[in-house]
Chains A and B, each alone.
Chain A
Amino acid sequence: MHKKRLQSLLKKLESPEPSTRRRAAETLSDSDERAVYPLIKALRDESPGVQEAAMHSLVTIGGEVTAYMVQPLLRDEPSIRNMALIILKELGMVKLLLPLLKDKDDDIRKFAVDLLSEIGDKGGCRYLEEMIHDPNPNVRAACMTSIGKLKCRGLTDAVINALDDEEWVIFSAVDALGELGDSSAVEPLSRLIKRDSEPLRYAAIEALGKIGGNEAEGTLVGFIENSSGTIRTAAIRSLLSTGPGRKIKGISGDLLTMLSSNDMEEVKLALRGISSIGLKEATPNLLDRGGAMDPLNPGGAEMIPLFRECLASFGCTGELLEALSSDRLKYRGKVLAIEVAGECSCREAAPVLKELINSSARDIRRAGVRALGRLQIGEGSELFLSKTNDPDGHVREAAITALGRLRYGSAFDALLELLHAEPYINVKERIVEALLSIDEMKFISLIDGYESSVREMAARYSNNFDTLIRLSTDGNPSVRVSSLLALGRFSDKRAVEIIKPMVKDPSSDVRKAVAQSIEETGCCKVALRSLLSDEDMWVRFHALKALPDTDGSGDSALIISGLRDRAVPVVLKAIELISGFPPDEAKAALKELTGHPDEVVKEKVMEVLEQS
């Protein structure tokens, strides 16, 4: 940073306006050591906005000078100390913390131990080993916690030895053993369960759950059988967290209690337990609790599928059917029940579902129609047809999908009608798919009466060769594109005849599709040549991409010529393909590119050269 600019910013740092000081502090992040002292002063600014900006800038400037100058702040007043800790953590320089580990002040040593684990550098483990026998118990306890956080496996034995210390330290040691996960800790932890101290018993139980394995599980099962109350719940939690499906007797009541917890981790464990013992009697509880989750929140969105999975593991049960018919369930719980019924192909649910699809709640109608669609029941054309006029797009979509899948001939005309009026693209697609599925020939014979977007969908979803041939000559380029891409799936010679002349198509999208098609069919290398010098970069891109799959030699030269393309993506693609050449060939080809003006190209060349 230029001296003048620095001076101006430092002056602004003293402005009476807090927003000016803050902006100055922020901008000083572009500076260097010269700004460190003023920024440290700014940590004491009366405005928290300025303090924070100064803190972030010190981190951005970084470096040893900053770390050295921030360290003394650890002896300052509390708010300054704590900002210094955040800065030192972000700076992440383990070596500079070493003198602090030997400081006279207990709290400074503790800060240093905490920082070692927060920085996250496993190199800190050996320094932690030296602190295990520190004279101060808070430092020792912090040491245990840090060993656990850093996962210093080699120190497991040392931590086990700390189980002889005072309770405060033992507690941290136990927690650390859980984090370290070493099974040699199981035996000493099992002894702790029998000790007098409740907190230590809890901690040991939790640690056993984290370590897992047969021995730990055995200890926990034994404990559960002889305990009650909250410590029993803790042991059950621990056991369930060791892994899926361990069958334990007599915990149904506990699982239901855990299910109503506000702690989502506990609920997840309860679900696991309920699935593993097949507790279908829990169905009403599951529907209530699962139905109480909000799908619009990430937390809810994560949990709801877990509830669904658990319920579905029971299959189609009497409890589920009862829930579907009952008025008691709130609507999201009902949606959940309906989804499960569909997933389990629960035919007995059909009568109830037929009623539910008339609900005023759109989510219930959606789920109901989808579920009915999965049931594949004999009659139903009328039912689904009536839902193709539902005000909700998803309901319409589900109904149409069902009609197509079940191939209801009687629905054909009604679907054709819908095609004109339907506003949503994805629903339109389902209509086209359904029409193709019910009677492709009839639909295609009428296709010219529809707009290009419909014809394009037909090309995309058809599996009929003749349909695709016909659409490949459509007046609209996007229809031609989709036909070409679909034709690429057929290794039929007739496809080749259609594809070849299209290299001269006026639309670059079509020419690009030709290249993509050739990539699929593996034919027509000759056609590729003209595409390789196409005026559109994406056509050249895909033509290059199609080269290695076609037969014939002389490909390498063509690919190498791509390196001289004027468009970066084409060059990158060529490099990518060359990386698959034998190492010597690749090196020779790429040598000339090391001086390429584009940074990304240079980087990629280096990457490939290093690998070979």
Chain B
Amino acid sequence: MKILVVDDDGVTRKLLGLYLKGTGYEVEFAENGLDALEKLGIEDINIVLTDLNMPYMDGIEFTRNMKIEPLYKSIPVLMVTTESDDEEKQRAFEAGADGYLVKPVTAETINATIRELLKRIFSHGGEINV
């Protein structure tokens, strides 16, 4: 199970990466939406964790791009951001995000949310490459 962590802050990427690797997931990293689109094409990604505020391509635009792309639209997108107001949350879900967490997050929260997302995929008969 490979997770793509997208965030422009190196320290955040490191921490989220450690949370996920600690659970046994494989982790790839990207610095912004453009970087993430490139990595999606090269690596076999199962889930995407993305920040919202990033230069060159933010998390909302990135999610929108993912969801119109036949190859990627079934990959669950979990937004992990400092933005807590409802307007942003609304925007994220309209863009196609499958989950939304507000930073700071704990290892438990992230992993529980990911388990939920995976359950949803399985119950809808989706495929996952482990």
Contact = CB atoms under 8 A, between A and B. Distances in A.
Interface of A: 77-79, 81-82, 85-86, 106-107, 110-111, 137-138, 141, 145, 166-169, 171-172, 175, 198-199, 202-203, 230
A175 B82 contact: no
B104 interface: yes
Given A138-B103, A199-B19, A172 B11 contact: yes
Nearest to A140: B104
Contacts of A82: 53-56, 58
A85 B55 contact: yes
B14 A79 contact: no
Contact of B104 (A77, A85, A138, A199): A138
A78 B58 contact: yes
8 contacts: A85-B55, A107-B53, A111-B53, A138-B104, A168-B104, A171-B15, A198-B18, A203-B14
A300 B107 CA distance: 38
A138 B82 contact: yes
Contacts, number: 64
Nearest to A199: B18
Given A81-B53, A168-B105, A230-B21, 10 more contacts: A78-B60, A78-B88, A78-B91, A79-B60, A86-B55, A106-B84, A145-B9, A167-B104, A171-B15, A203-B15
Nearest to B22: A198
Contacts of B11: 141, 145, 171-172, 175
Interface pairs A-B: 8 shortest CB-CB: A168-B104, A199-B18, A78-B58, A138-B82, A78-B60, A171-B15, A175-B11, A137-B104
A107 B52 CA distance: 12
A78 B59 contact: yes
B83 A107 contact: yes
B106 interface: yes
A202 B18 contact: yes
B26 interface: no
B82 A168 contact: no
A202 B17 CA distance: 11
A331 to B, nearest CB: 28
B43 interface: no
A79 B55 CA distance: 8
Contacts of A171: 11, 14-15
A224 B15 CA distance: 22
A32 B91 CA distance: 35
A78 B52 contact: yes
- For B21, B53, B55, B91, the residue with the greatest tally of chain A CB atoms inside 10 Å of its CB is B53
A141 B104 contact: yes
Contacts of A166: 104
Contact of B106 (A107, A111, A145, A167): A167
A78 B82 CA distance: 13
B35 interface: no
B61 interface: yes
A91 to B, nearest CB: 15
A439 to B, nearest CB: 62
B67 to A, nearest CB: 16
A78 B55 contact: no
Contacts of B18: 198-199, 202
Nearest to A136: B82
B70 to A, nearest CB: 23
B30 to A, nearest CB: 15
A78 B15 contact: no
A199 B13 CA distance: 12
B74 to A, nearest CB: 24
A78 to B, nearest CB: 4
B97 to A, nearest CB: 12
A202 B19 CA distance: 11
A110 B84 CA distance: 13
A233 to B, nearest CB: 13
Contacts of A230: 21
A166 B105 CA distance: 10
A58 to B, nearest CB: 15
A200 to B, nearest CB: 9
A107 B15 contact: no
A166 B103 CA distance: 12
Contacts of B91: 77-78
A137 B103 CA distance: 9
Contacts of A169: 104
Contacts of B19: 199
A190 B19 CA distance: 21
